[in-house]
A and B are shown apart, each in its own frame.
Chain A
Amino acid sequence: MAAAATFLRPSARAALAGVWLFWSAPATADPLPVFEVAPGVFVHAGRHEETDEANGGDIANCGFIVGNDAVAVIDSGGSPTIGHRLRDAIRVHTDRPIRYVVNTHMHPDHALGNVAFLPDRPDFVAHVRFQAALAARMDHYRQAFDDAVGTAAATEVRLIPPTVVVTDRLELDLGGRVLDLVAWPVAHTDNDLTVLDRQTRTLWAGDLLFMERAPAIDGSVLGWLRTLDALAAEPATRVVPGHGPPSAPWPDAAVDLRRYLGRVVEGVRKVQAAHGTIQQAVDTVAADEAPRWRLFDSYNPRNVTAAFAELEWE
């Protein structure tokens, strides 16, 4: 029976994800490496790269928390393949049911793995604005994924609507283990959600915390700074960033991000006070931050542009 079960499980998945198996069969039995950053809290650290064919969307942190009764996935990875590999990693560590897939926000490098968990019939949990934000961008994300990873890989990409939305706060009980979910005002995006594991005082910050990799402002730079203030008061000693090491001490881990965002605000205000243009701001603002961040040149111009449009309405 055990042999039959282990046989049936992967073949059932194969039927659901046949196209994916066809183009990338060698990756199927390749669980993502995960670190147990605290008892029962497992994190996979993504690479500091842009999504491409080689990394297959493995560019953001994702992972899971194991309770007595159930497992919660926190972010599902940047492609259906990464989602499948995360699911394989979960099954290396536990056979408890995957009851929740929590998305910290709508960016594709965190959410495109959702589809891999459909066979588990979990609740997909996200911020109340997650679905609208993703729907508005989904065609764009699908096209960008197709361009970066390939058409075959993109065929499995799907928008999975949340089944549970968080407007303010929500508790998820995994059995002897309660997760506190908080939906934040506009910051990194307009649908940032954090997860606090009470038991280990671990704060899963999603992209409200970038470390090492240059952050992307896709919401409000001022809102993000305010949210970081509020997050510093969360009763956590450890944080899981959306990009960076699997975990770091909280709140010290946010020092670099706060400094960078502060410099963007200060620099853009200065250019605006002198009636400068977006391009002038892009060329000068926060330039001395370059050596401190990976992919800086890909994201700083974008951040300065976004901040410019935001701050001229102050």
Chain B
Amino acid sequence: MTTPHRTIRTLSGAALAGAAWLCLGSAGALAASPQEERWDLLRDMYFSGRTVEDAGPLLSLEAPKRANDAAVVPIRIVTAPGNGVAVTAVHLIVDENPVPMAATFRFPHGDNPQAIDTRLRVNAYTNITAVAETSDGRLLRTTQFVKASGGCSAPALKNAQLAVARMGKMKLNLPDSIVAGKPLTAQLLISHPNYTGMQYDQINYYFIPAHYVKTVAIRYNGQPVLDVQSDISLSEDPSIHFSLVPEEQGTLEVTAEDSNGRVFQESWPIRANSGS
């Protein structure tokens, strides 16, 4: 059951921050190698003073070469922890977007391999960057260049009214066959317009403030499975595929909070076949 309720509305800094970053981005783009200049800027902003190494085999990122629909660009992150090193978090960054940090995924079971699928808005030709945090305190980076699509493809809502009407509804998609003890991939969908702060309200003549899903906490039988911090670069109706190891009986609980302080909660029973 979805139980949206309002708490004190806090002023979102995202729109302001976005504007500031756009300016910095333009300044960076004047330099010789725009992609690396941009990355230097982002690294200083998000990981100030820390070394960021090339990822190697611990982290991989899949993205389409071309953003077919700039509003819905599917991305896959896979971690491969080993040799006693866990991957505890992955930051997903769309380098050229107004607010580049799209999401941070934190893995309570970072010693297990994790696969995350999600969807991004892509404003322009851009690197998409994933940065992993490891249990031995390193930052590991991998990138994929994505070409934006042409013409009428813009990272905007296709059906703004519906997005608002359905806000906060959730769906959980599970595989047809679930076996206890065997890792499965589940898909969580949260209906939300994820307003970027760049959409215009014609009736009231103002830019609709940024309004987006900010945190998602996924628990299974009370234990944390995945914690997500997200921002406006996630597509509307955020979709997250994640890994889960089911028991024979279990309950999955999701709590999401948006930037206006609205909280959405839902839970689903998961029944698995005996693994033996």
Contact residues of A with B, CB < 8 Å? 50-51, 107-109, 128-129, 131-133, 135-137, 139-141, 143-144, 148, 186, 189-190, 216, 218-220, 223, 275, 277-279, 282, 298, 301-302, 304-306, 308-310, 312-313
Contacts and interface: CB of A to CB of B under 8 A. Distances in A.
A301 B153 CA distance: 12
Contacts of A186: 158-159, 161-162
Interface of B: 64, 66, 68-72, 74, 117, 119, 123-124, 149-162, 166, 171, 173, 175-176, 189, 191, 198-202, 235, 237, 239
Contact of B189 (A135, A140, A278, A312): A312
A107 B66 CA distance: 21
B219 to A, nearest CB: 23
Contacts of B124: 143
Given A50-B150, A143-B124, 11 more contacts: A107-B151, A133-B156, A136-B200, A137-B156, A140-B155, A186-B161, A190-B158, A220-B158, A275-B173, A302-B69, A306-B69
B156 A136 contact: yes
A275 to B, nearest CB: 6
B72 A132 contact: no
Given A143-B124, A190-B159, A301 B154 contact: no
A312 B198 CA distance: 26
Contact of A309 (B64, B72, B151, B199): B72
A32 B155 CA distance: 32
Contact of B152 (A109, A129, A135): A109
A279 B153 CA distance: 18
Given A132-B201, A279-B64, A313 B74 contact: no
A224 to B, nearest CB: 11
B61 to A, nearest CB: 14
Contact of B158 (A132, A144, A219): A219
Secondary structure dominating the interface of A: helix
A147 to B, nearest CB: 8
B235 A218 contact: no
Contacts of B152: 107-109, 216, 218
Give the residue among A133, A136, A186, A279 with the most B Cβ atoms within 10 A: A136
Top 4 nearest A-B pairs (CB, nearest first) are A135-B200, A137-B154, A301-B68, A140-B154
B117 A218 contact: no
A302 to B, nearest CB: 4
A39 B74 CA distance: 49
A168 to B, nearest CB: 15
Contact of B151 (A109, A190, A219, A282): A109
Contacts of A309: 69, 72, 119, 235, 237, 239
B159 A220 contact: yes
A61 B160 CA distance: 27
A280 B46 CA distance: 34
B198 A136 contact: yes
Contact of A135 (B150, B153, B202, B237): B202
B200 A275 contact: no
Contacts of B154: 136-137, 140-141
A3 to B, nearest CB: 43
15 contacts: A51-B151, A132-B199, A135-B199, A140-B123, A140-B155, A140-B156, A144-B151, A190-B159, A190-B161, A216-B151, A220-B159, A278-B72, A302-B149, A309-B119, A309-B239
A301 to B, nearest CB: 4
A313 B191 contact: yes
Contacts of B70: 140
Contact of A275 (B71, B74, B176): B176
Nearest to B159: A186
Given A136-B156, A186-B162, A305 B72 contact: yes
A150 B202 CA distance: 30
Contacts of B64: 279
Contacts of A304: 68
A189 to B, nearest CB: 8
A312 B166 CA distance: 13
Contacts of B156: 133, 136-137, 140
A149 to B, nearest CB: 12
Given A132-B200, A135-B202, A143-B124, A50 B151 contact: yes
Contacts of B198: 136, 139
Given A219-B158, A312-B171, A282 B68 contact: yes
